Structure 1
Amino acid sequence: MTSTEYARTIAGFGTVRVDRVDPAADAPLLHRWVNEERARFWGMHGTTVEEVRDIYAHLDSLPTHHGFLVHRDDVPVALFQTYEPEADRVSECYEVQPGDIGIHLFLAPSATPEPGFTEHLLTALLDFALTARTRVVGEPDAANTKVLTRLARTGFTLGPEIVLPEIDLPEVHIPEKRARLVFYTRKTP
């Protein structure tokens, strides 16, 4: 059973709802998304449905990392992850500050791109991530210039390129990754 963590209606866009990922129920959908060629930067290309389920079951077991399925008016449109930077490999690459929260965002494939879609969705997701936080940190693949350009236009500050170290544990393997740090600080009214 999924648990809704956040919902926000944006005029002219619709209602954005953020639900916890249900690893068993959501794995087939997520598997389709992450195995498209456009998803190569997500790092799960070539996985099976069972591997996707196991990855999100492991993520769900951690108190520091969370996976969310994002809906717009009840249609799944994105995969969103948050994490505590001090409990993640990114902490080896920058000085974590109090109030930081890490994010990963994967937009679902769309047959009909919609102007303003990403901006509206990011508005809601940043609001959600910054609840009781002051700064978002992300580390998209350094070669993903399309995402880096989009984030800069949205108000993220581009930081330095880094190399995220490999993680090789019995329950998870994440290869080394060349990334670019990005930061978004809560706007004060």
Structure 2
Amino acid sequence: MTWHYPASIDTPVAVLLDGGNRLMLSGNAGELLAAAQLRHDGPDDAGLSDVKIDPARPDGAHLLAALIDAIFIRLPDVNRILLPAAKALPPVAALATRRAQAPGTGQEAAIVERAVFRQLPLLWREQRSHTAYPCLRSSIGPEDRLPPLRPPRPSGVMYRRWVPEIGLTVTLRPIDRRTDLSLFHGWMNQGRVAHFWELAKSEAELDNYLAEQEADPHLFGVIASFDGDPVGYFEFYWAKEDRLGPYYEPEDFDRGWHGLVGNSRHLGRPKTRALFAAVTHYLFLDDPRTLRIVGEPRASHQKMLSYTAEMAYVKVKEFDFPHKRAALVCCDRDRFFREVRL
């Protein structure tokens, strides 16, 4: 059984594959929401037929996305899935980008590609916390790097995804200094964290640090959790107006992040990899105009560099900040979705 989080539903849905290769999608109360027959069309291809989704439901594309997600999770070598054409299954039009002939029948089929599918915000990104902004020029920001007008920070859970490798659901939500300050203070005052973040300060000082963030439209802090248990802290920023901006040629929608694992119960490579994958995935989902995600870890922080390399980040160069020797790392959207298995 696999778990999925359609943006149209407040609770998770489950997909069960029975012995006859029948996929059944059930809601939180056990009600059947959709079903389909899975077939294997080749070493890299799979297909769905006999798809049953209530045509009266307005979220048919979300339910179909959950079935497709289940296949990609179960069959990591499969890179594309053939489905009935949109004229026979209308929700396909929101998912497929190519057409082909179904093997054995010669009928028209629609193709959903893994690298395309993972970029669609039908799953994972919580729509209620998302505010889409047009590209409006602003005169507020660094005079030499004026950004577009930035949307306000999200509220509530922004991202939710079940990670099969660890059997846990990762969530991302903005930090709230009114309720998270004690947690934030404890993490920042751990020796291994303070060595890199240099924020081993009092609660009052850290409260002021977070208050200054709330007045800054270019970044905000995030709490990551596994199954509701707070795990780590991340800062998401728009790179153009960040301190990193002068050290490379930024585009308007480049994003970046800093991060730490503060909960020692969740240390270890599999969970850290899951966090870094979720962070990168969310930042690409948040705005389709974001084509690059950048970072500036310490050049000597080999463990962090190894994690980012595993997430398709490339080390571009080393440079000197006033406070550290840094490595500029960059993750390209196409490469991330082509190489990183989510």
1:137 aligns with 2:294: yes
- CA separation of 1:73 and 1:177: change in aligned 2, threshold 3 A: same
Quote the residue 2:162 is aligned against: 9
Give runs of aligned pairs for residues 69-108 of structure 1, distance below 5 A: 69-108=223-262
Q: Verify the 8 A CA contact 2:240 2:252 in the aligned structure 1.
A: no
CA positional deviation for 1:188 = 4.6
CA positional deviation for 1:114 = 4.0
Q: Verify the 8 A CA contact 1:60 1:67 in the aligned structure 2.
A: no
Give the aligned CA root-mean-square deviation in angstroms: 1.8
Q: Verify the 8 A CA contact 2:293 2:331 in the aligned structure 1.
A: yes
Q: Which has the higher contact order (CA 8 A, sep 6+)?
A: 1
Structure 2: distance between partners of 1:85 and 1:112 = 29
Quote the residue 1:150 is aligned against: 307
CA positional deviation for 1:157 = 0.5
CA positional deviation for 1:148 = 1.5
Once the two structures are aligned, what percentage of the paired residues are identical? 28
CA positional deviation for 1:20 = 0.8
1:24 aligns with 2:209: no
1:67 aligns with 2:214: no
CA positional deviation for 1:51 = 1.1
What letter matches 1:44 in structure 2?
A: L
Q: Verify the 8 A CA contact 2:238 2:254 in the aligned structure 1.
A: yes
Between the two proteins, the alignment pairs up a number of residues equal to 177
CA positional deviation for 1:115 = 4.6
- SS state of the match for residue 306, structure 2? helix
**TM-score normalized by structure 2?**
0.49
Structure 1: distance between partners of 2:211 and 2:226 = 24
Q: Verify the 8 A CA contact 1:85 1:96 in the aligned structure 2.
A: yes
Quote the residue 1:33 is aligned against: 187
- SS state of the match for residue 159, structure 1? strand
Q: Verify the 8 A CA contact 2:171 2:225 in the aligned structure 1.
A: yes
Structure 2: distance between partners of 1:135 and 1:26 = 30
Quote the residue 1:171 is aligned against: none
Q: Verify the 8 A CA contact 1:27 1:50 in the aligned structure 2.
A: no
Structure 2: distance between partners of 1:112 and 1:59 = 27
1:124 aligned to 249, 255, 278, which one? 278
- SS state of the match for residue 169, structure 2? strand
1:43 aligns with 2:198: yes
Structure 2: distance between partners of 1:118 and 1:157 = 18
1:181 aligns with 2:328: yes
Structure 2: distance between partners of 1:113 and 1:177 = 25
Deviation string 1:65-102 (CA, Å, 9 cap, x unpaired) is 11111111000011011111111111111111243101
- SS state of the match for residue 89, structure 1? coil
- CA separation of 1:182 and 1:55: change in aligned 2, threshold 3 A: same
Structure 1: unaligned runs, 5 residues or longer: 166-175
Q: Verify the 8 A CA contact 2:185 2:202 in the aligned structure 1.
A: yes
